[in-house]
Amino acid sequence: MNYHALERTNPLRKPKGFEPVVQRWSVGLPRKCGSLCLAFHGVQGADAEAIYKSGFIPWISEAVCLPSGPDVHDHAWFVDQNGLYTHVVATYWVEQTRRDDWFEDAHVAGWWNDSARHSEPTGYFRESLTVPTERLETLYWNDYPAGISRSNEVALYPTPYCGYYGAMRDRIPLAAVDPLPSALAELPRATQRETRSNRWRIATPQNLTVIRSAAFWGRCDPEQTEDYMRDLRAPLERGMDFLRESPEATGCCSLRFQQTCDAGGAPELETHALGYFLSLGHMENWAENHPSHGAIFRAAMARYRKFGKKNQLRTWHEVFVLPAQDQIFEYVNCASGTGLVNYFEGERLS
């Protein structure tokens, strides 16, 4: 169904006559693409040395180069709430059949499903998303490819919906006719599951919403770098801390504030948040009503006004509102509290 062609029943939130301070761009996917597929594969251990000596890095490095491998991929690391160093590889496919073939490839499936993973000093997770095209939105600068916009299979177009509260929902095609509510009245209390030496599969609820949101300062001169670190980075970190520490109040089930890096962990001049919210409405409620996001938004707008067309900071984000079916959240030998392992219905596979 072409949701762009449907008569809108939910009004746009764009104010009449509004003009954004800066023009932003969104991805156009090929017509053949019914769903965008992406997966986050992660490994966690006591420290960086344990991670980069583990079998995960050579396995995933070979896997992404397979004929059915992802169109694009990137790396990041962070230290989680348990103090564990975690390396995450994000992978994207425009064709779902190629993603499915990749999961079934002997190199990928053989290593991932091996029971040896259960007894290693490191833990692993796979969060695989299948996102119908009418359930996603993206926002980039046209001169800084990131995420799926790095793929040769997509195009960028200037979006008329940017720079105001509600623009995120306005960019999601299905939101024109569907309010995309949570299937749950509130986020359930976390359940402490026995995760070490076990493999868990989590069933996520309808309209769980995922966001990747990044800031790249690699092109900033010293003045603009200092301005970013002083006036925008500080409120950004406070906002991420609030979300990570307040799941029941915000509906944010998991928040990873990650350092973009290469395959060996060497940092790049970019960070990004990967957040899972109970629904789009929960994310909007934080964005529009909580002081921590208000401080981020005001700092960002002040920066755009201060530097105008000379602004060198590049930010981007991608949002995915997931149907309940076709999602895979699997945690192998992980520490308690990793990702969504303590939330929603779960099945212990082994």
pLDDT class of 7 with cuts at 50, 70, 90: confident
What pLDDT does residue 91 have?
98
pLDDT of residue 150: 97
Region 45-58: mean pLDDT is: 96
pTM: 0.95
Counting residues of the chain whose pLDDT is more than 90, the rounded percentage is 88
Contacts of 11 (CB under 8 A, 6+ apart): none
Q: Which helix (H) or strand (E) holds 5?
A: none
Under the banding of pLDDT at 50, 70 and 90, the label for residue 6 is low
| Residue written as token pair 């993603």 | 99
Domain ranges of the chain: 30-348
Query: Which residues, 6+ apart, have CB-to-CB distance to 255 below 8 Å?
Result: 240, 243, 244, 273, 274, 275, 276
Mean pLDDT of the 330-338 span: 96
Query: What is the pLDDT, as a whole number, of residue 59?
Result: 98
3 state SS of 82? coil
How far apart, in Å, do the first and last CA atoms of the chain sit?
39
30 pLDDT above the threshold of 70: yes
Closest CA to 296 of 212, 209, 215, 211: 215
Contacts of 238 (CB under 8 A, 6+ apart): 292, 295
Give the pLDDT of residue 111: 98
In what side-by-side order are the strands of the sheet with 328-332?
136-139, 314-322, 208-216, 267-277, 252-261, 72-79, 85-93, 35-45, 123-132, 328-332, 199-203, 345-348
User: What digits encode the pLDDT tens for the residues 85-136?
Assistant: 999 999 999 999 999 999 999 999 999 999 999 999 999 999 999 999 999 9
pLDDT (tens digit per residue) in 226-264: 999 999 999 999 999 999 999 999 999 999 999 999 999
- Weakest mean pLDDT among 103-112, 213-222, 284-293: 284-293
Q: Is the pLDDT of residue 1 over 50?
A: no
Judge residue 310's burial from the number of C-beta atoms within 10 Å of its C-beta, 0-12 exposed, 13-18 middle, 19 or more buried: exposed
- Lowest mean pLDDT across 130-139, 282-291, 318-327: 282-291
Q: What is the mean pLDDT of residues 136-155?
A: 96
Give mean pLDDT, residues 74-86.
Answer: 97
Report the DSSP pairing between strands 123-132 and 267-277.
unpaired
Are 133 and 78 in contact by the 8 Å Cβ rule? The answer is no
pLDDT of 222 reads 97
pLDDT at 101: 98
Q: How many helices (H) and strands (E) does the chain have?
A: 10, 14
Q: Alpha-carbon distance 91 to 122, whole Å?
A: 21
pLDDT for the residue numbered 304? 87
Label residue 5 by pLDDT band (50, 70, 90). Answer: low
